[in-house]
Amino acid sequence: MAVVLLAVTGLLSYQAWGNAKLTTETMALAKDHACDMDSSCIVLDSQPRVGKADIVRHRYEYKTTHGMMTVTCKRQLLLFGPWSCTPEEGRMISDPF
């Protein structure tokens, strides 16, 4: 039983560590979804201006023809599954300490 618990803990830790890194996969996906709110919108940046990651989400900021957009990408399940992204108007705001 202890070996199974150790293996599960190791798997979850490794996945959380991997999720906390910005990847080109999520950058590209975020850019593709930056203009989901308006079909006339065009992404002006080739790379995100700002990118932040934690174990459950990746956030990117892109300049578009409709202003700054923040795109948040999360996995379908908490640590596993495909990424899905949703845009919001405005800049990324740092969370207070």
The model's confidence at residue 95, banded by pLDDT at 50, 70 and 90, is low
Domains of the chain: 2-89 (3.10.450)
**More confident site: 3 or 95:** 3
Report the alpha-carbon distance of residue 13 to residue 19 in Å, rounded: 10
The tens digit of pLDDT for each residue in 6-17 reads 999 999 999 999
Residues 44 and 64: beta-carbon distance below 8 Å: yes
pTM > 0.75: yes
Q: Which residue has the higher pLDDT, 96 or 27?
A: 27
> What's the rounded mean pLDDT across residues 37-54?
93
Distances (CA, A) of 67 to 43, 45, 60, 75, 89: 9, 11, 14, 26, 7
